[in-house]
Amino acid sequence: MTRLVLYSEDSKLLPLLTAALKPLFNLKLESSKEQVKQIAAREDVEILVLDFDRNYSSFEQQTAFLNEVAGYRVPIVVMTDDLRRSTTTEFLMRGAYDCIGKPPSLPELKVVVRRAYERALLEKELEQMRSIEAARHCDQLIGTSGRAQIVYDLVRRVASLSATVLITGESGTGKELVARAIHNLGNRSKHAFIPVSCGAIPETLIEAELFGHEKGAFTGTNGARAGYLEQAGEGTLFLDEIGELSLNTQVKLLRVLQEKEFCRLGSSRRIPLKARVVLATHQNLQRMVEEGTFRHDLFFRVNVMQIHVPALRERTEDIPTLARHFLRKYSKEYEKPVHDIRPDAMELLVAYGWPGNVRELENLIQGAVILTDGDTIARSDLPEHLQVEKEARDSLAETFDELLHQFKTDLANKAVAECDGNKTLAARKLKVSRAYLHRLIRKSPVSIEGAA
C-alpha cells in the first residue's frame, strides 16, 4: 500500500482522518515536525498530508516547515483553516500540490490525496525517462536533479561543435566525466580522447609535453616525440587545471588556439591543430585575471562556452542515486553481496557537506563496502565525522531558530512599548496581524520543532 504520513497536532481531528485514510493507505501519524522531516529525508514516505492550524503554529512557521519538506520532493497536501487566496497561493508556490479546508470533506480529501499521489508517480516516471535518456547521451554522468539536467543539456548542445569549451567546478565534481561525455556524444568519438593534468607536469617539461620535440631539441632528448596536441589527432585534447599554467605557457597556448597550428620544440615546421580543445579548472579565472596570474586574452579565448559542474552539496537530491551507483560498482568489484544502504545511513550521507564532492562520496562508499559485514551499509560503517558534522549542524540550526524567535519577540515588545501599549498600532507598525503579535508577546522562545 502507498505510504502516507499525516502530520497534525489536532487530537480531535486525528481519529476522523485515520478512519478515512487507513483503509486506503499505509498510514503513519506524526505530531513532530522533526520526525516528519527525517521520514521525508530517508524517502520513507510517498505522500504527506500536513494539517496547518492557526491554533498551533503561525503562518510563518507553517511556510518555513513546508519549505523544508518540499525540498525532499514528496507530494504534499495541506489542510488549512485559512482558505484566503493569499494563504493558499503561498502554500502552492512553496511546494504543496493542493490545499483543502479544515475540517475537510472526507470524500474530497480522499480524491485530492489520490490525485497527488498519481501525479507524483507520473513525474517520477518522466524523471526516470529523462535520466535514462541523459545517461544514454552523457556517458557516465549520473543524476536527475535540475542542476544535473542543465549540465546534460549543455553537453548535448556543444558536443558536435568545434568551439572551445571551458568546464568549471570544484575539485571532485566530475569535470573530466563531462569532457568525456562531450567527446563521446560528438562527431569525434571514434578518435582519441587525451586527458592532460596541467598541474601534474613540471613547468620545465610542460611545453615539451604539449607541443612535442625534435631530436636534440634540449639536453636529454634521445629522439623526436609527438606532443599531446599532435597525439590527439582529430579527437579531443582535455587540458585539466589550466589555472596552473605559467604566464609564459599561457601565451603559447593562446597562439595555438588562435592560429590552429603549432611547432614541435626544435623545429619550425608548422603542424595543423586538428583536435578539439576542452579545458577545465577549479579556480576562479576571472579573479586570476584581475590578480594578473592569468592572461585576460587567453581567458576570453577559452571562455567561449562555459559549463559549470555544480558541487555535490548543491544537488543533494542526487546523493542517493550516486551512492547506490558506487555501491553496485564496488560490491561487484570486491565480490561482496552488499545490496543497499540503510535509511539512517543514507540520512547521514545526504546531510553531509561533501567538501570533496563526488570523488569523496565514491571513496567513502568504497571504504564502507570493504568494512561492512552485512548485506547493507549501516550507519556504523560510515566515518564518524559524518555523524559529528550532522550533530553540529543540528545544534547550529537550533541556536539560530531560538535567536531568530527571540529577536522577533524583542521587536514586538519594543513596538508595543513605543505605541504606549496599543497592540493594534504596534501590529500595523510591524506590518503583521494583531493575532501574530499577541503570540510573539505571549510565547517564550521556541524549540527547533516549534520554529520550523
Query: For all residues of the chain together, what is the average pLDDT?
Result: 86
DSSP string, 120-138: HHHHHHHHHHHHHHHHHHS
Residue intervals of the chain classified under CATH 3.40.50.2300 are 3-125
Residue intervals of the chain classified under CATH 1.10.10 are 387-451
Averaged pLDDT for residues 292-316: 94
Residue 166: strand pairing partners:
279, 306
How far is the CA of 29 from the CAs of 3, 4, 58, 117, 246, in angstroms? Answer: 11, 9, 21, 18, 63
CATH number of 387-451: 1.10.10
Instruction: State if pTM tops 0.85.
Output: no
Packing angle of the helix pair 85-93, 59-70 (nearest 10 deg) = 30
Radius of gyration of the chain (CA): 29
Query: Above 60 in pLDDT, residue 82?
Result: yes
Tell me which fold the domain 156-310 belongs to.
Rossmann fold (3.40.50)
Instruction: Tell me what percent of the residues of the chain surpass a pLDDT of 70.
Output: 91
In whole angstroms, what is the distance from residue 346 CA to residue 290 CA?
A: 42
Averaged pLDDT for residues 125-153: 70
Averaged pLDDT for residues 10-20: 84
Per residue in 256-276, pLDDT (tens digit) is 999 999 999 988 999 999 999
CATH number of 3-125: 3.40.50.2300
How far is the CA of 210 from the CAs of 48, 117, 213, 221, in angstroms? Answer: 57, 56, 9, 15
So what's the pLDDT on residue 398?
54
Residue intervals of the chain classified under CATH 3.40.50.300 are 156-310
Out of 23-32, 143-152, 171-180, 425-434, pick the least confident: 425-434
Work out the pLDDT band at 396, boundaries 50, 70, 90. low
Averaged pLDDT for residues 55-76: 87
Pick 313-382's CATH classification: 1.10.8.60, 3.30.200.20, 3.40.50.300, 3.40.50.720. 1.10.8.60
